[in-house]
Amino acid sequence: MTNTTRRSERSQPTGPPPQEAPSPSESGQRWRVVSARGARRADVLSRVRTGTALAAGRLATSASRSLRLGSGGIIGGRVALALQPDLLTRLVVDKRIVVITGTNGKTTTTHMVAQALRAGGASVSNATGANMLDGHVAALMAEPRAPYAALEVDELHLAQLTDRFQPSVILLLNLSRDQLDRVGEIRSVEASLRRALRQAPGARVVANADDPNIVSVAADHPHVTWVSGGCRWKHDALNCPRCGAFLGELDEAWECVCGLRRPNADWKVDVGGLTAPDGTSERLSLPLPGQVNRVNATFALAATTALDIPRTEALDHIRRLRDASGRYEHTSMAGHDVRLLLAKNPASWLEMLDLVAENDRPLILVVNSRQADGHDVSWLWDIEFERLVGRNVVVTGERALDLAVRLRYAEVKCEIATNVQRALHSVTIGSSADSVEIIANYTAFRDLFAKRQQH
């Protein structure tokens, strides 16, 4: 045997024979060599496509407004996304974004957050309430260089959002029954929100400590700030959202047998004002009325404080807010001063009935049942209309007869009018009141807001 042969034998490995690397076809991968020139060309084409999408989206928005077809908050984003499907992920780069979701209070709280963020710099928002992906794109492309954004998000679409990017702050207000024929039961919404939070482990979550459904959503997240403002509507939160056990009295520190419990609040708010995590107190005197808006403002402050915006400056900006997309707005209709109030489900009707209980002005109730409202109006029987006994009430809208029947059982006398203008005429006959309260559900309110200066 030659020395060459011996060297060859000694050079053989002692372990198992090496495994051949799988070919691209065997591993399921597909490889393609891209030249530097090709990569640059693709980048240029992508930028051109993005610019074209932004221009087309803005043009669609402008056309919608010019033709008085709407605010353009949906069509502009829809056109832009059709031309550049990943536009949202491009628009959120280098932005600090607060997303706001929940059943009630989303639009008002989003306005408050947007105002508070302006204490730190320019802020954009889907203030019109277009709260799905196309609405988010439309809002962000309005001012792409703004460092902050406040985005209202439909409860069932938060998971779609966090699948695309991770917000800086996720604000969770409340969960209650709403549009059962579209949204479904609360348990399905709660599960969707939990999935959304699992997709955003690095976000800061600001959550309602008094709502067991929200506690269940946020309890497992690593970064939660808890806000307590009391639990007004309890009917949808009496049972544990995780195991179904009865929770008992929600005004106290509740704990379920499965381990879910009410967390200690970092921020607290009552009729006197708020208490911050550092123990300092602040009076909450706001142009927007009611305890519900003091709670909304505290959520907004908790969210913006998480982004290091000074609380005092943020609150000064929130105090400049007089209405939120027409909510609580005083306006003129048919020669009368009216205040517009939105109530779209039993929980929000409870809050609005609280507001009108502070006066004895004539009251108009407007209820529709279009797709955006939910076609089922059985929720009317969950509202404590008995509180209106003795009030001057007129009902109108597409479901005025259903509402009149409910008021008849509540022993509330009312008149039925064919439209709001006739209702205003009827409700003010013989009345010395200088203004009228109008409570309307979603599409009825939207129509009133759009036509408020045309009467």
DSSP string spanning 326-358?
TBT-EEEETTEEEEEEE--SHHHHHHHHHHHTT
Asked whether residue 254 is assigned to any structural domain, the reply reads yes
Q: Phi and psi of 305, rounded to 5°?
A: -65, -35
Residue 124 sits in the same domain as residue 181: yes
Residue 367 sits in the same domain as residue 297: no
Residue 297 sits in the same domain as residue 407: no
Asked whether residue 344 is assigned to any structural domain, the reply reads yes
User: Got the DSSP string for 422-449?
Assistant: HHHHHHHTT---SEEEEEE-HHHHHHHH
Residue 362 sits in the same domain as residue 302: no
Residue 261 sits in the same domain as residue 304: yes
The beta strands (E) that lie in 85-199 are given as 96-101, 123-125, 148-152, 169-172
Asked whether residue 132 is assigned to any structural domain, the reply reads yes
- 419, 439 contact by CB (below 8 A): no
Last residue of a domain, one of 267, 288, 318: 318
Asked whether residue 273 is assigned to any structural domain, the reply reads yes
Of the chain, the percentage scoring pLDDT greater than 90 comes to 64
The residues annotated as belonging to the active site are 376
Q: Can you give the C-alpha Rg of the chain in angstroms?
A: 27
Provide mean pLDDT across the span 340-355.
Answer: 94
Number of domains the chain contains: 2
Q: In terms of pLDDT, which residue wins out, 427 or 277?
A: 277
4-46 tens-digit pLDDT: 443 333 334 444 444 444 444 444 555 555 456 655 766 667 7
Asked whether residue 353 is assigned to any structural domain, the reply reads yes
Structure confidence at residue 42 (pLDDT): 61
Provide mean pLDDT across the span 56-75.
Answer: 81
For 248, counting Cβ atoms within 10 Å of its Cβ (0-12 exposed, 13-18 middle, 19+ buried), the class is exposed
Asked whether residue 77 is assigned to any structural domain, the reply reads no
Could you give the CA distance from residue 52 to residue 185 in angstroms, rounded to a whole number?
41
∠ CA 71-317-196, nearest 5°, is 65
Could you give the CA distance from residue 233 to residue 349 in angstroms, rounded to a whole number?
10
Could you give the CA distance from residue 316 to residue 310 in angstroms, rounded to a whole number?
10
- The residue among 443, 357, 353 whose CA lies nearest residue 397 is 443
Q: What's the chain's average pLDDT? A: 87
For 239, counting Cβ atoms within 10 Å of its Cβ (0-12 exposed, 13-18 middle, 19+ buried), the class is middle
Could you give the CA distance from residue 115 to residue 123 in angstroms, rounded to a whole number?
8
Could you give the CA distance from residue 333 to residue 452 in angstroms, rounded to a whole number?
6
Q: Which residues are annotated as a binding site?
A: 240, 243, 256, 258
Please give the residue range of the domain that contains residue 400.
Answer: 330-451
User: Token pair of 239, please?
Assistant: 């049972």
Residue 409 sits in the same domain as residue 311: no
Residue 98 sits in the same domain as residue 217: yes
The answer to whether residue 288 scores a pLDDT higher than 50 is: yes
Going by pLDDT thresholds of 50, 70 and 90, the confidence category of residue 430 is: low
Provide mean pLDDT across the span 58-78.
Answer: 81
Residue 354 sits in the same domain as residue 286: no
Residue 375 sits in the same domain as residue 266: no
Of the chain, the percentage scoring pLDDT greater than 70 comes to 87
Provide mean pLDDT across the span 422-431.
Answer: 80
Asked whether residue 352 is assigned to any structural domain, the reply reads yes
How far is residue 392 from each of residues 229, 399, 403, measured CA to CA in Å?
Answer: 32, 19, 15
Residues 186/188/193/196 CA torsion (nearest 10 deg): -170
Residue 447 sits in the same domain as residue 419: yes
User: Token pair of 148, please?
Assistant: 């902050």
Q: Which of 62-66, 132-136, 190-194, 213-217 is predicted least confidently?
A: 62-66
- 306, 206 contact by CB (below 8 A): yes
Q: In terms of pLDDT, which residue wins out, 309 or 46?
A: 309
CATH number, residue 374: 3.90.190.20
Could you give the CA distance from residue 155 to residue 178 in angstroms, rounded to a whole number?
11
Last residue of a domain, one of 260, 293, 318: 318
Residue position matching structure tokens 């489900």: 345
Please provide the distance, in angstroms rounded to a whole number, between the alpha carbons at the two ends of the chain. 111
365-422 tens-digit pLDDT: 999 999 888 888 999 999 999 999 999 999 999 999 999 999 999 999 999 999 999 9
Structure confidence at residue 46 (pLDDT): 76
Structure confidence at residue 452 (pLDDT): 72
Residue 134 sits in the same domain as residue 252: yes
Residue 271 sits in the same domain as residue 355: no
| Distance, C-alpha 293 to centroid of its chain | 15
Q: Which residues pair with 223 in a beta bridge?
A: none
Q: Which residues are annotated as a binding site for Zn(2+)?
A: 240, 243, 256, 258
Asked whether residue 447 is assigned to any structural domain, the reply reads yes
Structure confidence at residue 51 (pLDDT): 84
CATH number, residue 197: 3.40.1190.10
Last residue of a domain, one of 294, 318, 342: 318
